[in-house]
């Protein structure tokens, strides 16, 4: 074999090897499709001024408001009893209604029940009865207090929360049937902010699906947002503000209703 | 002319094989090692209990696990605090306990499923879940056969509500530093389940190398107490529905801590007080429908809420991401948040974007 042919073979091998490596790397390292982020900022104007909507869940649904018209109509037609009216209808005491209202709770699981809520002027009668029952079975006062929700009647424990969830699930099923993509949901923080990350660019409907109670009214948002590829730092600079005030730049349908007076 | 062609082909294949081997090695995920289970029919078979065997699967959980066990001697709450009684095993496995082959050698190997040794008067048992006593031995290997099904988002729906810090209306304390006994703001009740990790220090002894996790991470519920507070009765899944939360896993699932990127970050003070609400930084946490694959990742952009501009009249002055970039240019290290393993690498593009 001549020196020339050996050299040719060597360089050919390197060339082919290089091609193979490049094609393999190209095949395995396909750049990920660009994604988008929405920084949601939800606020509402009330008699006391503008406030952030705290700890409410919002849902992201693929498609514009027009594309989701059937769902939007269903959302608008859905009625849900207010928290206060629900608990009053179940015979809850004024103390329990206040306890729920003070912390914007939909169920008694919302926060730990403290000792002062069992005895003394702040005591909630339902909690006291459940505590007595729990103590008889569990023997230990501390465990009885912590496990007290197990001994409350179902309606007063989480009846309203379950009712609301059933309504949301019904609407989500409808949304799922209409939209090819899975839904995403996120809860606003104490500043009314929430991030919807890793979204495929496109047009989306953003809604709380059932009206959120705030002070003396309930607010339903049905908004549309076009998501472009971009990272979190861009989204942080340009929040998508949902408000109950008219904003011509935002395509939103906001329905505000006064909370009913409960009998 | 034929020889060089064969040589070229051989070298090309060799190169391709090397590339393929390298990439396969790279893409191989760190799959948890499956348990070394003894083969069926061997004497050692009964040294390991399998919930997934056909016979065991056909039973209800409370056929063996009595709920609660003698709880007041073990825990301060009703719990499944110990292994099932002898009857649960003996009613099917009499030969494995009392036959001549079983009694030969060191004794019935089936005893070691629960007991430290296979001896007639051996009462000492391994810890069943959480140890009942400080000196109780854990099993030599993690024989976890279940994963936990926990819908995080549903729990946040009911729990994560605003609980403002209760302030004394008569007094307004003015100080730059919080008093040692001052209660931290409990913004969203995440603390119902996730507490300062030093609270469990004594209850959960960790190897020394895990000290950093102890220092930085919040706790997660590790006993039934947290679950039974709501799921003891009435609220499904209730105490006797073990399968409501514990789903059988075919492979051994080790408990892994999330990888720490910012090893110098501290939830509790450290270089500064991180007093923001949990979801201000853990921006995806309210979205997660399961704890499986849930990683409490915090994007750098979340840090910019405070660490972008130090012109504000806060005290102590915050270190900005921009300052850290300047530092990196001179020292090749980002040392404020990161340990050298991460801090010596080139900052990613996300950090640059966050600093702008």
pLDDT tens sequence across B167-191: 333 333 333 334 444 445 566 678 8
| pLDDT value at B29 more than 50 | no
Q: What is the pTM of this model?
A: 0.78
Q: What is the pLDDT of residue B179?
A: 42
Strands (E), B69-226: 146-148
For position B301, what pLDDT does the model report? 84
Q: How far apart are CA B91 and CA B88, in angstroms?
A: 6
Residues B304 and B262 in one domain: no
- The whole-number pLDDT of residue B227 equals 92
- Separation CA B259–CA A198 (nearest Å): 21
Best CA proximity match to A58, nearest among A78, A75, A77: A75
Chain A interface includes B4 (CB < 8 A): yes
The overall average pLDDT reported for chain B is 73
Of the residues B161, B165, B191, the best mutation for testing chain A's interface (the one with the most A CB atoms within 10 Å of its CB) is B161
Predicted local confidence at residue B36, as pLDDT: 46
Token pair 């069943």 is found at B128
Q: How far apart are CA A122 and CA A113, in angstroms?
A: 11
pLDDT (mean) for B104-114: 86
Q: Please state, rounded to an integer, the average pLDDT across all residues of chain A.
A: 88
Interface contact B288, partner A, CB < 8 A: no
What percent of chain B lies above the pLDDT cut of 70?
A: 62
- Per-domain boundaries in chain A: 1-31, 36-68+179-258, 84-156
Out of A201-215, B53-67, B162-176, which region has the weakest mean confidence (pLDDT)?
A: B162-176
Q: How far apart are the first and last CA of chain B?
A: 62
Please tell me the predicted confidence (pLDDT) of residue B250. 61
Closest chain A residue to the Cα of B349, Cα to Cα? A231
pLDDT at A234: 82
Inter-chain CB proximity B356 and A233 less than 8 Å: yes
Give Cα separations from A220 to A12, A79, A212, A250, B140 (angstroms). 69, 11, 6, 15, 56
Judgement on whether residues B86 and B208 belong to the same structural domain of the protein: no
- Rounded to whole angstroms, how far apart are CA atoms A129 and A153? 10
Predicted local distance difference test score (pLDDT) of residue B278: 85
Closest Cβ–Cβ partner in A57, A146, A197 for B157: A57
Question: Which stretches within A47-138 are classed as H helix?
Answer: 69-77, 83-89, 94-102, 125-138
Please state, in angstroms and rounded to a whole number, the distance separating the CA atoms of residues A121 and A124: 9
CB contact (8 A) between residue A16 and residue B234: no
CB contact under 8 A, A9 and B4: yes
Residue B200 has what pLDDT?
A: 42
Chain A residues with CB-CB distance to B231 below 8 A: 150
User: What burial letters (b/e) apply to A4-36, b meaning 16+ CB within 10 Å?
Assistant: eeeebbeebbeebbeebbeeeeeeeeeeeeeeb
Comparing CA positions, the residue from A103, A218, A209, A81 lying closest to residue A155 is A81
Contact B41, A46 (CB under 8 A): no
Helices (H) and strands (E) in chain B, counts: 14, 2
From A51-60, A120-129, B17-26, B46-55, the region with the lowest mean pLDDT: B17-26
Greater model confidence, A32 or B107: B107
Same-domain check for residues B264 and B356:
no
Domain-terminating residue out of B298, B316, B343: B298
pLDDT reading at B331 higher than 90:
yes
Nearest Cβ partner of B192 from A16, A112, A138? A112
User: Mean pLDDT across the stretch A13-19?
Assistant: 68
pLDDT of A139 > 80? The answer is yes
Whether B207 and B293 map to the same domain: the answer is yes
Q: Is B25 on the interface with A (CB under 8 A)?
A: no
Cα angle vertex B341, ends B336, B343, to 5°? 35
Q: What is residue B57's DSSP assignment?
A: H
Is there a domain that residue B35 lies in?
Answer: no
Determine the Cα–Cα distance for residues A211 and A257; give it in Å rounded to an integer: 9
Q: Does residue A64 carry a pLDDT above 90?
A: yes
- B38 inside domain: no
By C-alpha distance, the chain A residue nearest B18 is A21
pLDDT at A145: 96
CA distances from A225 to A39, A73, A175, A254, B14 (A): 11, 18, 17, 14, 53
For residue A142, the chain B residues in CB contact (below 8 A) are 76
Q: Give the model's pLDDT for residue B284.
A: 87
Quick one: pLDDT at residue B174?
37
pLDDT of residue B255: 56
pLDDT at B8 over 90: no
Mean pLDDT of B199-212: 47
Q: Specify whether B305 is located in the same domain as B288.
A: no
H-state helical runs in chain B: 2-27, 54-57, 61-64, 71-74, 86-98, 100-103, 152-159, 211-216, 224-231, 278-281, 300-307, 321-331, 340-343, 349-355
Q: Which residue has the tokens 């003996």?
A: B90
Q: Do B192 and B246 sit in the same domain of this protein?
A: yes
Q: Are residues B90 and B221 in the same domain?
A: no
Q: Is B37 helix (H, G, I), strand (E, B) or coil?
A: coil
The CATH superfamily holding the domain A36-68+179-258 is Carboxypeptidase-like, regulatory domain (2.60.40.1120)
Query: For the ranges B35-49, B147-161, B212-226, which has the lowest average pLDDT?
Result: B35-49
Can you give the pLDDT at residue B295? 65
Domain boundary among B298, B322, B341: B298
Q: Which residue of B has its CA nearest to A196?
A: B284
The number of domains in chain B is 3
User: Which DSSP symbol is given to A107?
Assistant: S
Are B262 and B218 in a shared domain? Answer: yes
Mean pLDDT of A69-77: 93
Q: What is the pLDDT of residue B4?
A: 65
User: Distance from A77 to chain B by nearest Cα, in Å?
Assistant: 24
pLDDT at B39: 46
Quick check: B299 and A232 CB within 8 A?
yes
| Residues B158 and B284 grouped into a single domain | yes
pLDDT given for residue B147 in this prediction: 79
pLDDT at position A253 over 90: yes
Report the C-alpha gap between B112 and B89 in whole angstroms. 12
Phi, psi at B84, each rounded to 5°: -60, 160
Selecting from A5, A151, A157 the residue whose C-beta is nearest the C-beta of B1 gives A5
Domain contains B126: yes
Which residues of chain B have a CB within 8 Å of the CB of A187?
156-157, 160, 279, 286
| Position B18 pLDDT exceeds 90 | no
Residues from chain B that touch A234, judged by Cβ atoms under 8 A, are 353
Q: Which among A227, A236, A239 has a CA at the least distance from the CA of A199? A: A227
- Are residues B97 and B242 part of one domain? no
Residue A53 has pLDDT above 90, yes or no: yes
**In chain B, residues 202-231 whose CB comes closer than 8 Å to chain A:** 225, 228-231
Under 8 Å between Cβ of A125 and A96: yes
Q: What is the pLDDT of residues B116-160, one digit of tens each?
A: 888 777 788 888 877 767 677 777 655 667 878 888 888 888 887
pLDDT higher than 50, residue B165: no
User: Does residue A29 surpass a pLDDT of 70?
Assistant: no
Show the domain range for B276.
144-164+183-298
- B89-106 burial by CB neighbour count: b if 16+ within 10 A, else e? beeebeebbeeeebeeee
User: How many residue pairs bridge chain A and chain B with CB atoms within 8 Å of each other?
Assistant: 150
Lowest mean pLDDT among A32-46, B165-179, B206-220, B270-284: B165-179
Answer whether residue A97 shows pLDDT above 50.
Answer: yes
Return the pLDDT at B204.
44
Question: Which residue of B lies nearest to A160 if distances are taken between CA atoms?
Answer: B158
CA-CA distance, A257 to B180, in Å (whole number)?
46
Which of B28, B279, B309 is the best substitution to test chain A (most A C-beta atoms within 10 A)? B279
CB distance from B188 to chain A under 8 Å? yes
Do the chains contact at A55 and B161, CB–CB below 8 Å? yes
The answer on B268 and B149 residing in a single domain is yes
**A20/B16 Cβ within 8 A:** yes
User: Over the stretch A156-191, which tens digit does the pLDDT of each residue have?
Assistant: 999 999 999 999 999 988 887 776 566 789 999 888
Work out the percent of chain A whose per-residue pLDDT is above 70. Answer: 87
Same domain, B315 and B206: no
């Amino acid at each position: 074999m001549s020196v020339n042919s050996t050299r040719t073979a060597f360089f050919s091998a390197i060339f082919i090897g290089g091609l193979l490596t490049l094609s393999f790397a190209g095949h395995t390292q396909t750049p990920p499709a660009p994604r988008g982020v929405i920084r949601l900022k939800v606020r509402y104007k009330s008699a006391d001024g503008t406030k952030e909507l705290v700890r409410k869940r919002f849902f992201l649904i693929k498609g514009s408001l027009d594309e989701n018209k059937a769902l939007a109509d269903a959302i608008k037609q859905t009625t849900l009893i207010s928290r206060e009216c629900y608990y009053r209808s179940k015979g809850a005491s004024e103390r329990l209604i206040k306890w729920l209202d003070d912390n914007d709770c939909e169920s008694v699981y919302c926060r730990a029940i403290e000792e002062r809520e069992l005895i003394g002027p702040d005591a909630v009668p339902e909690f006291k009865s459940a505590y007595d029952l729990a103590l008889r079975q569990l023997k230990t006062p501390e465990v009885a207090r912590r496990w007290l929700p197990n001994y409350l009647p179902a309606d007063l424990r989480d009846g309203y929360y379950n009712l609301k969830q059933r309504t949301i699930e019904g609407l989500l099923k409808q949304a799922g049937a209409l939209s090819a993509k899975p839904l995403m949901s996120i809860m606003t923080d104490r500043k009314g902010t929430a991030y919807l990350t890793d979204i495929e660019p496109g047009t989306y409907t953003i809604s709380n699906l059932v009206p959120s109670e705030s002070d003396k009214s309930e607010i339903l948002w049905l908004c549309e947002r076009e998501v472009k590829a971009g990272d979190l730092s861009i989204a942080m600079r340009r929040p998508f503000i949902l408000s109950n005030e008219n904003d011509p730049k935002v395509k939103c349908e906001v329905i505000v209703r006064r909370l009913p007076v409960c009998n | 002319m034929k020889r060089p062609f064969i040589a070229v082909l051989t070298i090309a294949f060799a190169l391709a094989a090397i590339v393929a081997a390298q990439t396969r090695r790279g893409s191989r995920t760190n799959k948890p090692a499956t348990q070394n289970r003894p083969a069926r029919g061997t004497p050692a078979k009964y040294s390991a209990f399998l919930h997934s065997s056909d016979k065991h699967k056909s039973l209800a959980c409370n056929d063996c696990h009595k709920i609660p066990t003698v709880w007041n001697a073990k825990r301060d709450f009703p719990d499944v605090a110990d292994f099932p009684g002898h009857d649960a095993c003996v009613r099917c496995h009499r030969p494995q306990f009392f036959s001549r082959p079983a009694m030969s050698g060191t004794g019935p190997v089936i005893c070691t499923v629960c007991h430290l040794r296979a001896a007639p008067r051996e009462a000492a048992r391994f810890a069943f879940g959480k140890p009942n006593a400080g000196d109780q031995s854990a099993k030599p290997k993690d024989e976890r056969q279940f994963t936990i099904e926990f819908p995080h988002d549903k729990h946040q729906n009911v729990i994560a509500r605003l609980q403002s810090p209760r302030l004394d209306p008569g007094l307004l304390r003015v100080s730059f530093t919080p008093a040692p006994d001052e209660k931290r703001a409990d913004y969203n009740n995440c603390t119902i389940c996730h507490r300062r990790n030093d609270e469990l220090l004594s209850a959960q002894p960790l190897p020394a190398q895990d000290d950093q996790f102890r220092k930085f991470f919040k706790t997660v519920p590790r006993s039934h107490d947290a679950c039974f507070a709501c799921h003891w009765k009435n609220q499904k899944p209730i105490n006797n529905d073990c399968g409501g939360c514990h789903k059988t896993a075919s492979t051994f699932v080790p408990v892994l801590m999330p990888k720490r990127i910012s090893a110098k970050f501290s939830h509790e003070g450290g270089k500064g007080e991180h007093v923001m609400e949990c979801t201000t930084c853990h921006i995806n946490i309210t979205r997660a429908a399961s704890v499986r694959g849930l990683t409490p990742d915090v994007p750098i952009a979340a840090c910019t809420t405070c660490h972008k501009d130090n012109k504000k009249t806060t005290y102590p002055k915050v270190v900005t991401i921009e300052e850290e970039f300047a530092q990196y240019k001179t020292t090749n290290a980002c040392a404020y948040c990161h340990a050298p393993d991460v801090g010596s690498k080139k900052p990613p593009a996300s950090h640059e974007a966050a600093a702008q």
